[in-house]
Amino acid sequence: MHSTNSMLAEQLVSSPGLLSVLHAPAGFGKSTLLTHVRESLEQRGAAVSHVLDVGTGDAPSPWILLDEPAASTLDSDALREALDRAVTSKVGIIIATRHIERLPLARLRADERSVRLGSHQIGISHREAVAAFKKALAKRDAEWLAGLIGGWTVSIPFLVAHARDRDARFDKDGDFLDASGLSAYINEELLADLPVDWVSALRFASIVSTCDRAMLDAIRPDDDLGRHLVSLRRHLPGLVDDRAGETWINPLLRMHLMRQFEQLPRTVRAEALERASVDCARKGREVEAANLIMRVGDADAIAAFVRRSQGLLLWTTAGFDVIRDIVIQADLHGIEEPRLKLLKCTVLMKDGQIAKCERLLENVMPLLAGDEDALRDADEVRATLAIYGCRTVTDEDIARFRQNIFRYGDAAPWKTLILLMQCILSIQRGDLDDASAFIVEAAKQARASGSDYNLLFLDIHATNLALARGDLQRARILLGQARKAWRQKFSSDVGVHTILDALTTSLEFEAGRLSSARVHIRRSTHHMPHVEAWLDIYAAVYEPMARILCLDIGLPATLVSLSAQREALDASGLPRVTRLVSGLEACLRGEALLRAEPGESLGAVPGPDAPTTLWSWQERELFGMAEAYLHLSEGRPDSAAEVLRALIGFAQPRGLFRSCLRAKLLMVAALDRSGDEDGADRTFEKTLLLGERTGMSRVFAEIGGEAVRRRVARSLTAWHNDGTGNPRRIKLLRTLARWGEVAQLPTTPRLTPREADVLAALEQGGIDKLIGRRLGVSEHAVRYHLKNIYRKLGVHDRVGALSRARDAGLLA
């Protein structure tokens, strides 16, 4: 007996004089609940009868428990009168039945003298089901099965017993239903007494997630099956329910019915699946429509579906997994439908095979003549190639994209895609306020159209925007939302996983969490450049990867690795990303020369093959920094400062605080080398403020050379000596203090007089309270001073503090 039924039993026995009807299909534990009620009543000394005496007129027993009353007595007037008399006499009656419609309850229900408990009240809870399955299964399998049973109690013993079998498997095709004996139970206890038409209605309704009468009649237009859904919901409550006007079937029962559906003749199945696909698409359920048509497995059906569903629109409404599966099916069947070739273009683009994508697009264009919708799809493929940054955006690309906005911007299915593209373009151009507005509007459209895939990508774009702003806290929240959505709905989409790991790499690197960044670098770069040809993602992952490689293997080996990456990017048709990596190499060389007081030039600095008006903010940042390094390496710090001022002038008004921080750190080095110490100090103070505000800390160890290193050390010394500062400044300085390559703590820490007293008392031994008594201060004050001592000495406990203090000469 699970706890839900235990509470129900206690509730039932505390309500005498009321008729309680337990109504649920087989398997919800009605008889078990009645047994528990009987045991509870007998423990209380109450008289219990299992027969309703309708013949003598004598007062019945105080409690009457009836389990599936005989059908032959249910229509009699005597039964109705006996029930009425028993309730009037304050007798408690509890009836368990599958067939509530056969009980004469109308008068009692009208007078509110009866209560009905259905399958949702009686069935096992999700939490209890998980607990039951966890005794025999791993947590993940237990959660999955608990979601499948939908509160259907009887399935627990079948599945738990099956799980204990050494060879047990729980597959999504439902083979475990036969092996566990649950299929036999369904056939014998649920389906055996149903009319043939009802079972047929259930079988065809099971091929879709939910359906209404119109959909079922569309699936089987000659059988008039839709009219049976109401009867089925009434007859099998909890297993067949109404949810928002649609009929829902319990997942386990549906799995059993789908297996029966697969036994029908192939022509019957194909016809039903294709009609179901059409109706799902009509209802806006594109993912389900695509999956149904792929189950048909017919070339003509797949081609017709792609034409019906407006081709490329599937990408935004159904997600990449569906597109990829359709393309695979099309290749297997040798389908030459031009719109399918456009879908293949998106698959190649997502796989990072840009050169192949562009060749295929060029070859398919002559086949699209006269097909306006397909030509629009082709324009969107071009726009995506350009806007995602696979190649340099041209004025012609922008003009074409704006023309599409004008032509299709008001069409609901395309509005989200166009807004998404505008968002990406705005982020790359550094117009972050515009990008935020596009994200808000696109999210409204995506929710209205039920596009979970677009909502996932909107969180990804919002994360990218937050990283550009240096808002690491906001980026972390958004990234968590996106990862949760991916895990729940699109976990097989490797491209999305790569994006999430790339953005996490950037986030963790900026926050100085290098170990975590290393983990996500391995996950993301494992797939590059063969997944996600998107400039923002390459920019997010390649800089952290290169800088961490420099720490781990040194600059020469890192440059060799980046050279190999450039060759792979070039081969994939990603020249724009290739130039981005070249710019990163120039910055790494420049920083190395800056730290070593070089006497040689960097040489030519690469740049994108496009006017500056078409640059992304990442290109402005990277190539601006590379140019400044070039000027510094050639002994022209004033020219470097001029370039950096231009970069700051672009980034600061747009809220691109990541670029601002990098440019200002390098500006410190430029001003320092030009002899403007005061200007360098003021600029460095601004970098600290930006670091406090954003949480970006690792760049202090990466950019600015000795000029920045020296000022970090000075700030650490000042903080170490007086321990003052706002919480954000202290947090930043503590982070910087952990990196030996930034600055070392002073060799002789300076303690306040009270801290020196506490340290001396600490050497004498004793707990905090005893030390406080010796010094005449509270225990809380001792702990406060100890905390400051540990910080200044760079230790974490008493033993370390005493050892460090002796080494520094602070103790005799």
629, pLDDT greater than 90: yes
d(CA 167, CA 162): 9
Task: Give the least confident one: 382-391, 523-532, 656-665.
Answer: 523-532
Give the model's pLDDT for residue 300: 81
- Predicted confidence at residue 574, as pLDDT, reads 79
Band of the pLDDT at 506, cuts 50, 70, 90?
very high
Tokens (6 digits) for 144: 């999955």
Chain centroid to Cα 687, Å, comes to 34
pLDDT higher than threshold 90 for residue 71: no
The mean pLDDT of 608-633, rounded to a whole number, is: 84
| pLDDT per residue as tens digits for the range 237-266 | 999 999 888 999 999 999 999 999 999 999
Q: How many helices (H) and strands (E) does the chain have?
A: 43, 8
Contact indicator for 578, 622 with CB cutoff of 8 Å: no
Q: Give residue 768's pLDDT band: very low, low, confident or very high (50, 70, 90).
A: confident
pLDDT of 334 reads: 76
Report the predicted TM-score, pTM, of the whole model to 2 decimal places. Answer: 0.63
What would the CATH number be for the domain defined by 753-807? 1.10.10.10
Average pLDDT, integer, range 65-91: 68
| SS3 (DSSP) at 21 | strand
**pLDDT interval class at 533 (50, 70, 90):** low
The three-point CA angle 147-152-157 to 5° equals: 95
334 contact partners, CB below 8 Å, separation of at least 6: 299
Per-residue pLDDT at 746 exceeds 50: no
Each residue's pLDDT tens digit, 277-334: 989 888 878 778 888 888 887 778 887 887 777 666 666 666 677 777 878 877 777 7
With vertex at residue 424, the alpha carbon angle to CA 423 and CA 425, rounded to the nearest 5 degrees, is: 90
Q: How many CA atoms lie within 13 A of 251 on its CB side?
A: 11
297 is written with which tokens? 């497995």
pLDDT for the residue 301: 82
pLDDT of 661 reads: 96
Residue 806: per-residue pLDDT: 73
Q: How far apart are CA 323 and CA 306, in angstroms?
A: 10
CATH value of 3-122 in 3.40.50.970, 3.40.50.2300, 3.40.50.300, 3.40.50.170? 3.40.50.300
Angstrom distances, CA of residue 639 to CA of 117, 622, 648: 82, 17, 14
Mean pLDDT of 559-570: 88
CA distance 525 to 798: 44
Q: What is the pLDDT of residues 658-693, one digit of tens each?
A: 999 999 999 999 999 999 999 999 999 999 999 988
Per-residue pLDDT at 393 exceeds 50: yes
Count other C-beta atoms under 10 Å from residue 801's C-beta.
23
Q: Is the pLDDT of residue 522 over 70?
A: yes
Domain residue ranges in the chain: 3-122, 126-191, 621-746, 753-807
How would you list the strands of the sheet with 19-23, edge to edge?
48-49, 63-67, 92-97, 19-23, 114-117
Q: So what's the pLDDT on residue 134? A: 87
User: Radius of gyration over alpha carbons of the chain, in Å?
Assistant: 36
CATH T-level topology, domain 621-746: 1.25.40
Give the pLDDT confidence of 635-653 residue by residue, as tens digits.
899 999 999 999 999 999 9
What distance in Å separates the CA atoms of residue 622 and residue 636, rounded to the nearest whole number?
A: 19
Helices marked H in 534-636:
535-553, 555-571, 575-595, 617-633
Which residue did the predictor score with more confidence, 53 or 444? 444
User: Distance between CA atoms of 792 and 790, rounded to whole angstroms?
Assistant: 6
Query: For residue 170, what is the DSSP state?
Result: -
Residue 599, pLDDT score: 45
Residue 396 binned pLDDT confidence (cut-offs 50, 70, 90) = low
Band of pLDDT at residue 387, cut at 50, 70 and 90? low
Instruction: Say which residue, 601 or 789, is predicted with more confidence.
Output: 789
